[in-house]
A and B are shown apart, each in its own frame.
Chain A
Amino acid sequence: MGNKQTIFTDEQLDAYQDCTFFTRKEILRLHGRYHELAPHLVPMDYTNDPDVKIPLALIVNMPELKENPFRNRIVESFSEDGEGNLSFNDFVDMFSVLSEMAPRELKAIYAFKIYDFNTDNFICKEDLEKTLNKLTREELTPEEVNLVCEKAIEEADLDGDNKLSFADFENMISKAPDFLRYL
């Protein structure tokens, strides 16, 4: 292209373009946002792949994530160590999956990870209760929460183990009309 930018090499940008759903401009913009989060930590020059990770606390304060009740889980699901510290690669990956160009199946996998609070590869009733409480900020009574969780499991659980495995989740998500629009 016309502009000379010195943040990434051309190969790096190419690789990013292939590995995510973003264009060059968007990747550069993302790098700008990443840099803004911790200017002293993040170098402007990424040509030699520095190993820099931004902690969870800084990332969840981004305006895009600030109001999201699942922000902690989102960031944790995309981090390598499971603690929420994102390198730039993880950062770009996260936004790539959350962008509107990512296909439904990809989003479904990560959505499952996000809603699986105890990371046991199942969404059990406790996970559901936590999800619901985060969604409604605990404004439902415990009986209502219980009832709603039970109904949700009843709707989606195909194999009868009272938990949602990924297969159950994906089957249910494929029928959920709002999933693509909202996620």
Chain B
Amino acid sequence: MCVCVCVCVRARVRGSQPASQPEPAQARRLVPGGASLSEAPPGTLEGKRVRRRDDGHIPPLPPKKSRFPARPQPSAHMDLDSVFYTHQHGLPSNPLLDQLPSYQSLLYRRKSSSASSTKRRSSMRGRFGSTSSWRWKGEKLEERPRSPQLNRPVHELTLSIEEKRRNKEQRMEQDKDLSSWKQWRLNTHRHLKRLKEDGMEVLSALQLWRGDIHVIEGMFGTGILSYFSFLRFLVLLNFVIFLLMFGFVMLPIIAVPYASGNSTFKVHDDAECSDYPSTSRQGLVVFHQYILDLLSGTGFLEKTYLFYGYYKVEAVHFPKFKYNLPLAYVLVTIAYLFLSLIWIVKRSAAGFKQNLIQDEDRFQSFCNKIFAGWDFCITDENAARLKRSSLLYELKTDLEEERIKQKIAGRTRKEKCRIYLLRLVLNLFVVTVLAACFYSIYKATVLSQESQLTDCNFIVKLIVEYLPSIVITLANFITPLMFTLIIQFEDYSPAFEIRFTLMRCVFMRLASIGVLLFSLWSQIAKCEDGNCSCGYNHKLYPCWESRVGQEMYKLMIFDFIIIGAVTIFVEFPRKIIVTYCDCGLAKWLGQQEFAIPQNVLEIVYGQTICWIGTFYCPLLPAISTIKYFIVFYIKKMTLVNNCRPATRPFRASSSNFFFLGVLLIGLALACVPIIVSIAQISCSKACGPFVNYATSWEVVPKTISQLPEELRSFLMALSSEAFAISLFVITCLAMFYVIALAGAHKAVVNQLREQLAVEGRDKRFLIQKLVQAQRKTMRSLSSTTMQDRHRPLYHGAENSSSEGLFTQLPPVSASSV
């Protein structure tokens, strides 16, 4: 059917369209046969169509040729669009729209799976337009179909409370008609829900530092909040690791006298290797020697529960069973690494999903900032001001990024070569700097190890002991400054600059621990005559694990001291200078900013030390817990007193993922030395639980060989190559499948989007036609009663000033529908 629909403008129908339309800049081509255009509608640039509901402007049907017609549509379809206009208060003027299935479908939507809160349910929502009108006119709900709403809880409806109450009363009335069994079930369900809510309230009150974190959130926003909740997570993680270690390794030994057990250990045959000289100080000991011992884990601390060397137990015999301590030691180590991995991954799962979505749709950034940019939790005036300026900064950065993108796209070949060359040179420079740092750490460790035997005064001794820590801290202080300086020359986009610098800093921090361990091991394995009879230098290091444990202990103590010292000696004076002094120095320094990335790196570094060190120093998690506990209060104090929030905003959404990502890198790095030392390095014969084994791992195969036949063969099968290879192949297959699935989903989403646009167009056309027909009928009815002139229907291009309703389109468009 060739439907000619003619455009006519003038009459802005019913005058109730409050929104003004922006004038498109392009010139509008008239649809042939159309009348003048007085207003310009927003153009349908791409032929995408409006979906469902009452909206103000419906551009007319585009011509069929391209799905994305270039020309914007003329405005004259005001009258046609009037079918979709709403009254001022949102009442749809057309009852037809109410009956559309798609409107009905708005009453309930697909179940969304948001995992964050237990209270999030599947969705709900009354129809938006009608809801607003009903809210403001207080109409009743009964007209809407009840069935979709039955499944939704009352508190998720968008109604005023009176209406929700009525809804609830209606439901209760309906429930009375059900059988008593169902009623009982519903009642129990309600009671349980109440109970659960009360229980959750109690639990959340028990959460550590809840009040403090709320205060911080209110003052500084959610970016910094994520740092403190990360710190809380680490405290809990360390505490759990300590409980594991304590429960499985220390408790049996402690419980020996109380549970009437006895511990046995076999002395190794080779007397030379198993000679562990006493480390307690003899004779008259100066007081500061004890302080030195306390700070470096030597002397009276060495042969205590603190270090690996104390656990020289082969088995603990309790009355009922035999407890294999070496096996427990190895298994607990593996267990705490696994536990950390699972806990971190679980925590980061939500953030990862969000990050994935965000990265995919980078074009969403503007909308995200405008609509989800303001932090509704801010109550402090200063925080509000800062949030405003940070939003401003972000928007400006985004605009800047757009400009840079265009600039990059417009680069000539010569410029590209120059930039790449420059980047190469600078990266080489960075690598040299890193190499230099690592070499200095190596040298410092060697020096520290060699000088420990000489006798000097107290302070020098302390410095020598802590030399590796000092060098690492210095390197980690200087290199970030250098990196931020260098990256400015490399001409990346601002977002990439931040990320890349951060990556470099993370690498520097975590690799320095690795270098320290490597240099330590090279010292331990270096014997005078080249060949180590016991596998390690037993003269210098009769118990080398304890020595490594001591180094880790020192690193941790020093880290803690540095955090405290920087706060007291750098940040407080800075605050005092800036507040009370009005000199140029104060202006240049500015008030301290709480730099989230650096602080996060600090605590991840500490946590990596804890993970590595727990194998050699089982009490280290406890020390770490206490350390992070105190650090929380130190950081909170400095934040509240000294800092203003960063002007460069740190997105809260991606920050959680960033923290946990860096933590995972730390965990991965921590696993490497532990695995190497368990599986490869020969353990000391003079101390520790593995005296009778070549390596620490050997205890596992030996235990397995003592197990019953079936279990043994099962475990052997698990560790055989066949199993490993098939597992690997299956995992690869699963991964490829999932990747293919994701690609297919993306394609389907795009297809559906296009389809939606086309469908919307169809529906719109049909609604317009229907409404016109209705109006025609009504008008012809009223005109017969009022003896008006008849209007011909569907013919010709009658343009009347007030009521022209027909649009002429080229025939090709008609065939599009």
Q: Name A's B-contacting residues (CB within 8 A).
A: 15-21, 23, 25, 63-64, 66-70, 80-82, 89-90, 92-93, 96, 98, 100-106, 109-113, 115, 118-122, 124-126, 128, 131-132, 135-137, 139-140, 144, 147-148, 151-152, 154-156, 158-163, 165-167, 169, 172-183
Contacts and interface: CB of A to CB of B under 8 A. Distances in A.
A111 B128 CA distance: 12
Contacts of B53: 121, 165-167
A65 B379 CA distance: 7
Contacts of A93: 160-161
A112 B128 contact: yes
Contact of A161 (B50, B138, B377): B50
Interface string B105-146: 000010010101101110111001101100110100000000
B712 interface: no
Contact of A21 (B90, B155, B161): B155
B545 interface: no
Contacts of B59: 160-161
B272 interface: no
With a 10 A CB-CB cut-off, give which of A106, A139, A144 has the most chain B CB atoms.
A106
A125 B86 CA distance: 19
B371 A115 contact: yes
A103 B121 CA distance: 7
Interface stretch (B291-299, B465-473, B650-658): B650-658
Contacts of A183: 372, 376
8 contacts: A15-B165, A80-B135, A126-B20, A158-B756, A160-B42, A161-B56, A177-B368, A179-B371
Contact of B42 (A69, A89, A161): A161
What are the 5 tightest A-B residue pairs by CB atom distance, in nearest-first order?
A162-B42, A67-B384, A177-B653, A89-B161, A19-B164
B366 interface: yes
A177 B358 contact: yes
Given A19-B168, A21-B155, A113 B373 contact: no
B589 interface: no
B123 A122 contact: no
Contacts of B198: 23
A152 B112 CA distance: 25
Given A152-B370, A182-B372, A140 B22 contact: no
A48 B222 CA distance: 41
A102 to B, nearest CB: 8
With a 10 A CB-CB cut-off, give which of A63, A139, A161, A174 has the most chain B CB atoms.
A161
Interface in B12-45: 17-22, 24, 41-45
Contacts of A155: 363-364, 366-367
Contacts of A151: 366, 402
Given A19-B168, A136-B395, A66 B125 contact: no
Nearest to A173: B371
B141 to A, nearest CB: 13
Given A159-B757, A177-B355, A121 B86 contact: yes
A109 B370 contact: no
B370 A105 contact: no
A67 B381 contact: yes
B168 A120 contact: no
Nearest to A165: B55
A165 to B, nearest CB: 5
Contacts of B164: 18-19
Contacts of B374: 68-70, 135, 182
Nearest to B48: A160
Given A19-B168, A104-B112, A182 B377 contact: yes
Contacts of B18: 118-120
Contacts of B89: 82, 119
Q: Sort chain B's interface into a size bin.
A: 35 or more
B275 interface: no
Contact of B391 (A16, A109, A115, A135): A135
Nearest to A172: B367
Interface in B87-110: 88-90, 109
B188 to A, nearest CB: 16
With a 10 A CB-CB cut-off, give which of B123, B155, B158 has the most chain A CB atoms.
B155
Contact of B112 (A23, A105, A112): A105
A21 B119 contact: yes
Contacts of A174: 112
Contact of B388 (A90, A100, A135, A173): A135
A109 B49 contact: no
A166 B128 contact: yes
A81 to B, nearest CB: 7
Contact of A152 (B121, B135, B194, B367): B367
Interface in B654-668: 654
B760 interface: yes
A101 B154 CA distance: 14
B378 interface: yes
Nearest to A69: B374
A80 B198 CA distance: 31
Interface in B750-805: 753, 756-757, 760
Given A175-B358, A180-B116, A181-B222, A167 B371 contact: no
Interface in B340-368: 354-355, 357-358, 361, 363-364, 366-368
B760 A159 contact: yes
Nearest to B198: A23
Contacts of A80: 135-136, 138, 160
A183 B186 CA distance: 33
A122 B370 contact: no
B165 A136 contact: no
A68 B374 CA distance: 8
B42 A163 contact: yes
B561 interface: no
Contacts of A109: 125, 128, 131, 158
B358 A144 contact: no
With a 10 A CB-CB cut-off, give which of B42, B88, B392, B756 has the most chain A CB atoms.
B42
Nearest to A90: B160
Contacts of A177: 354-355, 357-358, 368, 372, 653-654
B114 A178 contact: no
Contacts of B384: 67-68
B52 interface: yes
Interface in B182-227: 194, 197-198, 201, 222
